[in-house]
Amino acid sequence: MRVPTCIPVIPKNAKKYVNAAIDKNWISSLCLDEQVNFIEKLEKGMARYVGVRYGVSTTSGSTALDLALATLGIKPDDEVIIPSFTMIATAHAVIHNGGIPVFVDADEETWCMDTSLIEQTITGRTKAIIPVHIYGHPEDMDKINAIAEKHNLDVIEDAAEAIGTQYKGEMAGSLGNIACFSFYANKIITSGEGGILVTDNENFAKRAHMLKDQAFGVPRFIHEDIGFNFRMNNLTAAYAFASFEEVEDAVEKRRGNAKLYSDGLSDIEGITLPPEKDYAKSSFWMYGILIDEAVFGFSKTKVKDILKQKYTIDTRDFFYPMHRQPSLIKRDYVRDDISMPISEKLWNCGLYLPSSTNLKEAEINYVVEAIRNIKASSLNCQTKAK
């Protein structure tokens, strides 16, 4: 049985909505027909779902982050605190705006940024913090917001992986000044590519709408600001809206899959299951595990290889920490001798298992059995070696 890491669900209404946009010939980011204005439906629907007033669709989660920082007015040499353990788009957004990303190690329990290490990185130039809800587990937002308030910093949630995630009963995306989601193909809502910025702040929403559209002003072609073309087109929005209509079911399915995995793997020594703190409802966007080589018997790389070669099961490595990225070291964003032990451990030990929304129970059982067999063979190897 071949089990891929993640395949997107094709939404029930995808063709109907995309065809409706085509039939009415509204295919760009401009749509003057309310009935087929999927950009507006998506923006309003997402904002309502998250619990804020405004949504600003974009071409990706990455461009939503770029736009969020521009909206907040991050300028050259402003410092922005981000986790080292994240996907590189978080760092790129800071750099694209001329800012300096300042990295913080991960928390061993949640895999999100360690909030106890943030304050020591704050300087007179710090302007914002970007917590990342890693693999769908929420950052401890009360702590982040308390630090932000104390030091007068903005908070941008990188909620790319966290559609449907909750923190103390509140939706991820409603917990900072601005939040960004991704609609990439492996995300819980998807249009292949795409993203959205959401906010409860009217001024931020207006500014984000203006900046994403080349900062067009009135009269048109007179520009007061430097903008971008981050406009989502109506065909993409039609697909994304069809996917959005299925969000609740998709989140519950990913959570159900996570429970099946955890039930199957919990008694295997040497495996750490993904976190879900008391305050959290994780979307379990990806089901990640850590493999402790000394206890499990094989390294995560070996386990990945066996899963692939012997069982045709695809997995993915965890993120390579930002403070170790050659691109960032080369440009002096970080020194090459910095150590962040938890982020490094997550990279060394972490992999995620197949996590498609529509994974079948038989597929999950197959993956669990494969891991059990690998563990048993590692025990055999150890016995023979003695």
Q: Which residues bind ligand PLP (CB under 6 A)?
A: 60-62, 86-87, 89-90, 132, 158, 160-161, 182, 184, 195
CB of 169 to ligand PLP, least distance (A): 23
Q: 268 or 328, CB closer to ligand PLP? A: 328
CB of 10 to ligand PLP, least distance (A): 18
CB of 112 to ligand PLP, least distance (A): 11
Q: Give the residue closest to ligand PLP by C-beta.
A: 61
Let me know: does 66 contact 211? Beta carbons within 8 Å: no
Let me know: does 263 contact 255? Beta carbons within 8 Å: no
Residue closest to 97 by CA, chosen among 69, 120, 133: 69
Residue closest to 225 by CA, chosen among 217, 236, 234, 233: 217
CB of 236 to ligand PLP, least distance (A): 12
Let me know: does 189 contact 250? Beta carbons within 8 Å: yes
Residue closest to 349 by CA, chosen among 283, 285, 302, 311: 302
CB of 160 to ligand PLP, least distance (A): 3
Give long-range contacts, CB 8 A cutoff, 24+ apart: 211-220.
211/67, 211/70, 211/71, 212/56, 212/58, 212/63, 212/67, 213/29
Q: 79 or 158, CB closer to ligand PLP? A: 158
Q: 324 or 375, CB closer to ligand PLP? A: 324
Let me know: does 94 contact 69? Beta carbons within 8 Å: yes
Residue closest to 325 by CA, chosen among 146, 86, 11, 81: 86
- Residue pointed to by tokens 């891929």: 4
Q: 89 or 334, CB closer to ligand PLP? A: 89
Q: 4 or 217, CB closer to ligand PLP? A: 4
CB of 309 to ligand PLP, least distance (A): 27
Q: 29 or 90, CB closer to ligand PLP? A: 90
